[in-house]
Amino acid sequence: MSESAVTKKAISDGFKRTMSKKPFEKITISDITSECGLNRQTFYYHFQDKYELLNWIFYNDVISPFKDDFTIENWSEQLLQILRILKENSKFYTNAINTPYGNEFRKYFLNVIIKITDDILAQMTEGYNVKQENLKFISEFFAYGIAGSIVKWVQTGMKESPENIAVQMKNIVNSAKNFAFEKYFR
């Protein structure tokens, strides 16, 4: 791991610890740097602000490990892993989503899910003549449903197990996928 990656990880760990004690909107850069034992200059060398840091953490903890490996065959297992990561860090992610910045965070999450659903649909429709506007609609339909369900689960304290949420989503998505395939991909 590069020195920059080690420093970013230290900053993100400090931020997570700070967010377990304080609401996001009350956290200062000084709070974060004090928690991780670095100075403000080091923070600003790596991140523009705490919002960029929040997105970096989410991307590196939740999205990056899985984004390239999402396929039509394994999407539900990958989703389960994401839900488990969110649950393991529930205090941090609940705080992040329930902040005034939460809308931006949700938009960012939705855009990531749209990209993943676009990629999966491209795999599914390879060799089929499907109108782009239909693909866009289907992709956004699935992405809004998945992202919205996950955000609601986080906002309400993640009471259901990741396994239960994943099974429910898998059942709904597979049923809707079969309908979409019959309607649009023939």
Is residue 18 located within the same domain as residue 62? no
pLDDT single digits (tens) 112-166: 888 888 888 888 788 777 788 888 888 898 899 999 999 999 999 999 999 999 9
Is residue 40 located within the same domain as residue 125? no
Is residue 128 located within the same domain as residue 177? yes
User: In this predicted structure, what is the pLDDT of residue 67?
Assistant: 67
Is residue 103 located within the same domain as residue 174? yes
Is residue 41 located within the same domain as residue 88? no
Is residue 15 located within the same domain as residue 93? no
Is residue 77 located within the same domain as residue 126? yes
Would you state the torsion angle of the CA atoms of residues 30, 25, 47, 158, taken in this order, to the nearest 10 degrees?
Answer: 120
Residue type, 100: P
More confident site: 174 or 169: 169
CA–CA gap between residue 20 and residue 148 (Å, rounded): 24
Banded pLDDT at 186 (limits 50, 70, 90): low
Whole-structure pTM value:
0.82
Is residue 64 located within the same domain as residue 140? yes
Is residue 120 located within the same domain as residue 136? yes
Is residue 42 located within the same domain as residue 57? no
pLDDT single digits (tens) 16-32: 999 988 888 899 999 99
Domain containing residue 30: CATH number? 1.10.10.60
Residue type, 172: I
* Number of structural domains found in the chain: 2
Is residue 16 located within the same domain as residue 63? no
CA–CA gap between residue 175 and residue 183 (Å, rounded): 13
Q: Note down the domain range covering 94.
A: 51-184
Is residue 76 located within the same domain as residue 124? yes
User: In this predicted structure, what is the pLDDT of residue 139?
Assistant: 86
Domain containing residue 150: CATH number? 1.10.357.10
Banded pLDDT at 185 (limits 50, 70, 90): low
CA–CA gap between residue 49 and residue 38 (Å, rounded): 15
